[in-house]
Amino acid sequence: MDTKSIWMTIRSEWSAMNVFEKFEQVIALILGLFISLVIIISLLHLMHSVLPLLLSGVFDPLDPQDFYKLFGMIMTVLIAMEFKHSIIRVALRQQSIVQVKTVILIALLALGRKFIILDTTKTDASTIAALSVGVLALGVVYWLMRERDDSNID
């Protein structure tokens, strides 16, 4: 959906909203704009950090440490984009609040990013185990919520 249709949707529904819904709408739009700025700045920083290294030949994408660092930066941008997507759904009135399932998915993305950039030579087993339990717990909660939502559809 383009920016013009977003604004048209918001404007057409504005008069039917109560005060709290208007407040929620304004907050969602401000957060969406703020997250958009963070995404743009993150992407520019990523390009500024990586492009000169790639062009000069210093950065080796086949080196595991360089690859993990690059992939970690890309995952950070993707996580911010998912945040923005969930906020825009609220602004477009497709959802009344940010859904718990979306927050759980974003947390899973963040933990997945942590595993990708984790230096196993410098991380003790208890930290890896704790992160694994966190991923498992979030996965189970997401699965249970999905099962609940799927059973409500039938």
Q: Quote the DSSP letter at residue 16.
A: T
At 137 the pLDDT is: 94
Full pLDDT tens readout for the chain, 154 residues:
566 776 777 777 777 778 887 888 788 888 888 999 999 999 999 899 888 887 887 877 777 777 778 888 888 898 888 888 887 777 666 655 557 788 888 899 899 888 888 877 888 999 999 999 999 999 999 888 887 777 766 5
Query: Which residues are within 8 A (CB) of 66 and not within 5 positions of it... i.e. 6 or more apart?
Result: 59, 60
Query: Residue 72: left if φ>0, alpha if ψ -120 to 50, beta else—which one?
Result: alpha
- What's the token pair of residue 58? 């210093």
Q: Which residue in 40, 39, 13 sits closest to 94, CA to CA?
A: 13
What's the CA gap between 44 and 79, in Å, rounded? 16
Would you call 143 helix, strand, or coil by DSSP? helix
Q: Which residue in 73, 138, 78 sits closest to 103, CA to CA?
A: 138
Report yes or no: 31 and 23 within 8 Å, Cβ to Cβ.
no
Global model pTM greater than 0.85: no
For the chain, what's the residue count? Answer: 154
Q: Quote the DSSP letter at residue 23.
A: H
- Name the E strands within 2-60: none
